[in-house]
Amino acid sequence: MTFLKLACPKLQVVILDGCDHLERASFCPVGLESLNLGICPKLSVLRIEAPNMSILELKGCGVLSEASINCPCLISLDASFCRQLMDDSLSQTAEACPLIEHLILSSCLSIDVRGLSSLHCLQKLALLDLSYTFLMNLKPVFDSCLQLKVPDSGCKYLSDSSLEPLYREGALPMLVELDLSYSSIGQTAIEELLACCTNLVNVNLNGCTNLHELVCGSDYCRSGDMPVDAFPPDSAPDKTKEIRESSNCQLEVLNCTGCPNIKKVVIPSTANYLNLSKINLNLSANLKEVDLKCSNLYNLNLSNCNSLEILKLDCPRLANLQLLACTMLQEDELKSALSFCGALEILNVHSCPQINTLDFGRLQAVCPTLKRIQSSLIA
């Protein structure tokens, strides 16, 4: 079967198992509340009129190029890997489905600025996934999606200027999560984002090759530090100042896994990262120095940081410290760090040849709360 046409206003359930040759489909009208067409990889033309539909899955419809979706109650649309989905289809969908809250456009390579500009119709949009696209200009998103909380903007080709509205103009004030993994975003932009976007709760910088050091707490949002012509008069500098002064940093989770060029991470107490509970720097092979003063840090992963030599910790609530394969870390350096971690329960020093774990008592003497030590050396 290559063509399917259903005009059944009371239709509640449709099973499309085995319809992997379906090329054209029309569901006008139907009473469906949800529909999964991801099992139809050859689908190229789609028409849906479903007044009760709230969830639509198009994930994997790689040749879908023409879609007319009229679902006024639609809340979630997953169009991942719809590589041929065009701006016109996105614009029509945004206008006809104004209640969409979750929109997944990952790997939608044909979507461009014109399609993103239509997102102003989606006043309730909270999650937008644009990962694995070629987008370089996110201005339509910043201008249109004021309620956005989670933009997955892991677009590999983003430049520093693409994100300037976030940290210089106060765009997306509701933003709580930001994923810049494997992007080409630069060192300064990352530091300014962390300093100025104080509402961020979860930040992913995995695989960012341009991140060389992370020194938090510097005042990057001072308007005096900005170029004279960076903003229109009486606009962005005042706005960023308000952001900076509004509250302490809300960051809870910082992921920097596999950042190949990062060498130094410093978070002083003056950075006011009072909510930071988890840091992951796993597989950052050139990381040499970590200096953290985080009052609520609970989980720290430095595994496979085989260049790590300097470890300074003042983290009274740290309970889990992962140091797997930190081959350069000396035992005295570790003991000094542990002396300021009075709640540590789990320590992983497996494959750390410089640390003698045959005598666990010496580590427990420094940190009496230790309950479990993972090591490759067993007495």
Q: pLDDT grade, residue 329 (50/70/90)?
A: very high
d(CA 67, CA 27): 12
Side-chain-facing half-sphere of 213: CA atoms under 13 Å: 12
d(CA 21, CA 258): 41
Mean pLDDT of 356-369: 81
Higher pLDDT, 159 or 99: 99
pLDDT in the model for residue 247: 52
Residues 255-284 have pLDDT tens digits of: 999 999 999 999 999 988 999 999 999 999
Could you give phi then psi for residue 348, rounded to 5 degrees? Answer: -110, 110
Mean pLDDT of 373-377: 80
- DSSP structure string for 140-196: HHHHH-TT--EEE---TT--GGGGHHHHHS---TT--EEE-TT----HHHHHHHHHH
Count CB atoms within 10 A of the CB of residue 232: 9
pLDDT in the model for residue 364: 85
Lowest mean pLDDT among 28-32, 155-159, 279-283: 155-159
Side-chain-facing half-sphere of 255: CA atoms under 13 Å: 13
Closest CA to 75 of 91, 52, 47: 52
Mean pLDDT of 130-142: 86
d(CA 49, CA 113): 26
Locate 118 and state its tokens: 């239509």
Q: Would the pLDDT of 61 be above 90?
A: yes
Higher pLDDT, 162 or 292: 292
d(CA 176, CA 148): 9
Mean pLDDT computed over every residue of the chain? 88
Residues 84-118 have pLDDT tens digits of: 999 999 999 999 999 999 999 999 999 998 999 99
Mean pLDDT of 13-25: 89
By CB neighbour count within 10 A (0-12 exposed, 13-18 middle, 19+ buried), where does 228 fall?
Answer: exposed
Token pair 């050139």: residue: 286
pLDDT in the model for residue 318: 97
H-only helix segments in the chain: 87-96, 113-117, 139-144, 164-168, 187-196, 236-246, 331-338, 360-366
Q: pLDDT grade, residue 230 (50/70/90)?
A: very low
Lowest mean pLDDT among 34-48, 99-113, 142-156: 142-156
Lowest mean pLDDT among 86-100, 147-161, 166-180, 227-241: 227-241
Cβ contact 320:343 at 8 Å: no
pLDDT in the model for residue 154: 61
Locate 79 and state its tokens: 């169009």
pLDDT in the model for residue 38: 87
Count CB atoms within 10 A of the CB of residue 379: 7
Q: Would the pLDDT of 358 be above 50?
A: yes
Lowest mean pLDDT among 60-74, 80-94, 238-252: 238-252
Lowest mean pLDDT among 86-100, 154-168, 239-253, 317-331: 239-253
Question: Amino acid letter at 16?
Answer: L
Q: Would the pLDDT of 231 be above 80?
A: no
295 to 145, 165, 282, 360: CA distances (angstroms): 34, 31, 21, 26
